[in-house]
Structure 1
Amino acid sequence: MAKDKKQPRPKAETPKGFRDYFGQDVTERRDMLDRIAQVYHRHGFDPLETSAVETVEALGKFLPDVDRPNAGVFAWQEEAVPGGGTAGDWLALRYDLTAPLARVAAQYRNDLPSPYRRFAMGPVWRNEKPGPGRFRQFYQCDADTVGSASVAADAEICGMLADALEAVGIDRGDYLVRINNRKVLNGVLEAAQVREDQAEDVLRQIDKFDKVGREGVLALLTTGRLDDSGARIDGVGLSEAQAGPVLAFLEAKGADNAATLDNLSAAVGGSAIGAEGVDELRQIATMLAAMGVAEDRAVIDPAVVRGLGYYTGPVFEAELTFEILDEKGRKRQFGSVAGGGRYDGLVERFTGQKVPATGVSIGVDRLLAALRAKGLAGAEVAGPVVVTVMDRDRMSDYQSMAADLRAAGIRAEVYLGNPKNFGNQLKYADKRGAPVAIIQGGDEAERGVVQVKDLILGAKIAAEASVEEWKSQPAQTEVARADLVAEVRRIIG
């Protein structure tokens, strides 16, 4: 009888575009998100956790790639499974936290308060080509107000975003929330007599203002320009006169909000929609000042043009202004860590009624990288106190020690490997980052004492101290069993 062929062993590797997060990474992210959540909670926002899976129908136009149905998301078709959905239905992993909010706001519209204020934090999935720093699973952190057309909601989001950045440790002066308005740009396009079929091209070109400057954008709006490689980039085809209001919009930033708003009023000319946008920005500036959010924290800035193709009113982004060294040792500003704005159509496709909404999304991984760059995260996280095992028949005694430490709020564990080699237990404690090891053999047990080994001090002594210093600062002390908790607390501070 032929033997079955041996199945090949699976490869122990993560799929491309995915990664694993270990203790310190998870702890740092959780701590950062907890601080942000506290700020959102204080502002009256409620947490929301939605299913990781949505119907493709519910995602609808929010799909990342509308030209390729179901592309950009991880989607599959339902089979006839007992208790499952209808066979043939398409389901997908959520690709952001906004599309699920649209479904929730429509599904529970008779039960939720209006406006509905929620924040959400969790993983999302994109079925896109991975690359350096670009993963197919990542975290998002959103806060949105659904059902309010008042720009007070936008002002509150901006002020709350500034509070959140400070709550995680970004100093005032190291960040700036910058605010603009799509309606102002619509007014500028109207003043420039830009045709509807040219509008999207104009948006794309002004988005390059930071990169190519005034003259570069002027060329892109009119006759075109050569890029760095010498290739020809076609222009939109505006005249220089038409490009004038657009450039005036991009260069409208003044010495303060009042000057900027005056310049924007001039840029929109006689456009009614443009004037409405300027007025909304004026209201936001006034409300931020009333909230105690000064212009060194949040400011009107027409240079914020990213996302203007999507948002319908105020737009904002949070930029970190401190410098870091890039991979080539060059100084550069850290850049944007959050963005958002006002958008329509969130719930309309479910209910047929327009429901105004505004919100912000913080780039979790990017903000955490910024904290590490500032030395506010990335420090070694202390591991648990390790209770070593000298006699496996006395495991209950060791578990009792660990339980006493935990009851006092001290992280602790009993070594559960093979206790035969004591050196391996100390190596384990070192790998765990343990600050202290507890040792009690039969002799110590009879005398009612334990040995408390300060592993941090021991490592320091081994690396730096002289023999005399080593004798005067022993890293291992003997204390009564009843004093174990007090001694450990003294060592770990």
Structure 2
Amino acid sequence: MAKDQKKQPRPKAETPRGFHDYLGADVTERNTMLWEIAKIYELHGFDPLETSAVETVEALGKFLPDVDRPNAGVFAWQEEAVPGGGSGEWLALRYDLTAPLARFAAQFRNDLPTPYRRYAMGPVWRNEKPGPGRFRQFYQCDADTVGAASVAADAEICAMLADALEAVGIQRGDYIVRINNRKVLNGVLEAAQVHSDQAEDVLRQIDKFDKVGRDGVLALLTTGRKDDSGAEIAGVGLTQTQAAPILAFLTSKAQDNAATLDNLRAAIGGSTIGAEGVDELAQIAAMLAALGVAEDRAVIDPSVVRGLGYYTGPVFEAELTFEILDDKGRKRQFGSVAGGGRYDGLVERFTGQKVPATGISIGVDRLLAALRAKGLAGAETQGPVVVTVMDRGRMAEYQAMAAELRKAGIRSEVYLGNPKNFGNQLKYADKRGAPVAIIQGGDEAARDVVQVKDLVLGARIAAEASHEEWKAQPAQTEVSRADLVAEVRRVLG
């Protein structure tokens, strides 16, 4: 090597900031949960769809919140324009599963049934500042109906979401699907005589209702308020009279759906669009009742104001109502794990024609965290049976043992490391979480027997039992080679 040629530094073995790796147990838990959700979706007639992880920036559009440029908030790059090759267009990793669906539905609209029901599961990417529990890559699980204008599609999505939560183990009483309608809010803004240039600010303040309450929102809509640090926050500048129907809307949640709907009708005044929204909510409530979804599972709730700049009609959110302890030992409600609504303008970007659509997106990592908090996931997974190697020259026979176990549906593997130290093989089996180790040395082979070692029982005896108990209940059993599968089945129980 030339003296002036510097040795290249070794790359750091570390995950990029904002990303994380999923170990075997994590992947297994996630896949198990997603499979249960997928079975519910398919019961409702939805078909799976996998779209490309990469879309054109133009197709993705500007739908991330607080984004000024089409490629801000996403991982985007420009293809090199070369003769006969790249076009020079901007490409990006998908930031959700809905924008790719809109492109797909427009591209294949002549081939797809109408309505088109699909579900999709997979990773999405956000080029945002990472933080605790906030990653740049995460999983979503979506279900959407494209081409159905009836709010029956919205009701079905809400019912299906409730069924999916219960399918993965969330019990009734531990969740609620809350439903609102953008049209109702439009009617309230109309009744409040909010100018178009004030509407966005008003929506922003309404979204703080859960945090600051009625009086806090009133102050933010009118003259302003001080936050917890003492800083002054400017108000929107509405009068008390203008703010009144907005507050009536936010506080219209009653003991049952019928009373809530009556309160909403009063809040919208004479607004036509508002009345249309209330009627749609009434239809959804009636259909949910027909579907057997009681108000303890899904309820009309005007405090749901998520994504109101994006959705065009009903909006919904699934909230987990049980409490967990935060990092400081304080009790808090787990919160939202899914959200969605009607977005009738998304496919129109491609076709120029209105195409109704509605759907739901489940935050996979967040729902899995909730299951772990409830003790419904996160249990130690059982590893494979490990066939140990006592004689390198008999590797084919050890492989045959593993093959017999697999044929019987028992997860198994042969130790492929250096077999010289048998203790290292048992340490390997322990790291793998193996329930059983199979042992056959030259003496056992001559007698056509095997040793079946119950590693779970052995660990418990070593930790708890006296010497006499250990002698009376050995964790290792010798059986004939022909009885290998039967004995392993017995041990696995």
**TM-score range relative to shorter protein:** over 0.9
Deviation (angstroms), 1:227: 0.8
Alignment partners' CA distance in 1, 2:312 and 2:65:
19
State the SS of the aligned residue for 1:275.
helix
Alignment partners' CA distance in 2, 1:82 and 1:320:
55
In structure 2, relative to structure 1, the CA distance for the partners of 1:293 and 1:69 (3 Å cut) is closer
Alignment of 1:244-393 (within 5 A): 244-393=244-393
State the SS of the aligned residue for 1:369.
helix
Alignment partners' CA distance in 2, 1:69 and 1:292:
43
Alignment partners' CA distance in 2, 1:84 and 1:479:
66
Q: Mean Cα displacement is larger for which, 432-441 or 298-307? A: 298-307
Q: Which residue of 1 aligns with 2:93?
A: 93
Alignment of 1:14-413 (within 5 A): 14-62=15-63, 66-79=67-80, 84-86=85-87, 88-413=88-413
Deviation (angstroms), 1:341: 0.4
In structure 2, relative to structure 1, the CA distance for the partners of 1:456 and 1:295 (3 Å cut) is same
Q: Mean Cα displacement is larger for which, 94-103 or 381-390? A: 94-103
Alignment partners' CA distance in 1, 2:91 and 2:65:
15
**Does structure 2 retain, via aligned residues, the 8 Å contact 1:116–1:147?**
yes
State the SS of the aligned residue for 1:14.
coil
**Does structure 1 retain, via aligned residues, the 8 Å contact 2:62–2:69?**
no
Alignment partners' CA distance in 1, 2:340 and 2:70:
26
In structure 2, relative to structure 1, the CA distance for the partners of 1:369 and 1:84 (3 Å cut) is farther
**Does structure 2 retain, via aligned residues, the 8 Å contact 1:65–1:71?**
no
**Does structure 1 retain, via aligned residues, the 8 Å contact 2:312–2:345?**
no
Alignment partners' CA distance in 1, 2:129 and 2:211:
25
In structure 2, relative to structure 1, the CA distance for the partners of 1:28 and 1:84 (3 Å cut) is farther
Alignment partners' CA distance in 2, 1:62 and 1:183:
20
In structure 2, relative to structure 1, the CA distance for the partners of 1:91 and 1:243 (3 Å cut) is same
Deviation (angstroms), 1:65: 5.7
Deviations 1:42-84 (A, max 9, x none): 1000100001111112112335664134221111121257985
Deviation (angstroms), 1:173: 0.9
In structure 2, relative to structure 1, the CA distance for the partners of 1:326 and 1:448 (3 Å cut) is same
**Does structure 2 retain, via aligned residues, the 8 Å contact 1:177–1:316?**
yes
Runs of 4+ off more than 3 Å: 62-66, 80-85
Q: Which residue of 2 aligns with 1:454?
A: 454
Alignment partners' CA distance in 2, 1:202 and 1:155:
28
TM-score (norm 2): 0.98
**Does structure 1 retain, via aligned residues, the 8 Å contact 2:312–2:343?**
yes
Deviations 1:93-124 (A, max 9, x none): 11111111011001000000111110100011
Deviations 1:203-254 (A, max 9, x none): 1111111111111111111111111111111111111111111111111111
Deviations 1:319-376 (A, max 9, x none): 0011111111111111100000001221111111111110000000000000000000
* Residue identity in the other structure for 1:120: A
State the SS of the aligned residue for 1:153.
helix
The gaps in structure 2 that reach 5 residues or longer are none
Alignment partners' CA distance in 2, 1:310 and 1:57:
17
Q: Which residue of 2 aligns with 1:6?
A: 7
**Does structure 2 retain, via aligned residues, the 8 Å contact 1:146–1:356?**
yes
Alignment partners' CA distance in 2, 1:314 and 1:80:
43
Q: Mean Cα displacement is larger for which, 365-374 or 14-23? A: 14-23
CA RMSD across the alignment:
1.3
**Does structure 2 retain, via aligned residues, the 8 Å contact 1:343–1:358?**
yes
**1:468 paired to 2:468:** yes
**Does structure 2 retain, via aligned residues, the 8 Å contact 1:158–1:316?**
yes
Deviations 1:264-321 (A, max 9, x none): 1111111111111110000000000000001110011111112222211100000001
In structure 2, relative to structure 1, the CA distance for the partners of 1:47 and 1:84 (3 Å cut) is farther
Deviation (angstroms), 1:473: 1.4
Alignment partners' CA distance in 2, 1:440 and 1:257:
69
Alignment partners' CA distance in 1, 2:198 and 2:81:
48
Q: Mean Cα displacement is larger for which, 362-371 or 346-355? A: 346-355
Alignment partners' CA distance in 1, 2:243 and 2:65:
31
Give the aligned length.
492
* Residue identity in the other structure for 1:102: A
TM-score (norm 1): 0.98
In structure 2, relative to structure 1, the CA distance for the partners of 1:161 and 1:459 (3 Å cut) is same
Deviation (angstroms), 1:127: 1.3
Alignment partners' CA distance in 1, 2:284 and 2:199:
26
* Residue identity in the other structure for 1:19: H
Alignment partners' CA distance in 2, 1:145 and 1:164:
16
Q: Mean Cα displacement is larger for which, 274-283 or 72-81? A: 72-81
In structure 2, relative to structure 1, the CA distance for the partners of 1:82 and 1:366 (3 Å cut) is farther
State the SS of the aligned residue for 2:382.
coil
* Residue identity in the other structure for 2:290: A
**Does structure 1 retain, via aligned residues, the 8 Å contact 2:61–2:70?**
no
* Residue identity in the other structure for 2:2: A
In structure 2, relative to structure 1, the CA distance for the partners of 1:47 and 1:332 (3 Å cut) is same
Q: Mean Cα displacement is larger for which, 187-196 or 428-437? A: 187-196
State the SS of the aligned residue for 1:338.
strand
* Residue identity in the other structure for 1:59: L
Alignment partners' CA distance in 2, 1:341 and 1:113:
21
**Does structure 2 retain, via aligned residues, the 8 Å contact 1:64–1:71?**
no
Deviations 1:172-223 (A, max 9, x none): 1110000011111111111111111111111111111111111111111111
Deviations 1:358-407 (A, max 9, x none): 00000000000000000000000000000000000000110011001100
Q: Identity, % of aligned pairs?
A: 87
State the SS of the aligned residue for 2:438.
strand
Alignment partners' CA distance in 2, 1:311 and 1:428:
53
The gaps in structure 1 that reach 5 residues or longer are none
Alignment partners' CA distance in 1, 2:383 and 2:81:
48
Deviation (angstroms), 1:2: 2.5
Deviation (angstroms), 1:126: 1.2
State the SS of the aligned residue for 1:477.
strand
Deviation (angstroms), 1:130: 1.3
* Residue identity in the other structure for 1:400: A
* Residue identity in the other structure for 1:393: G
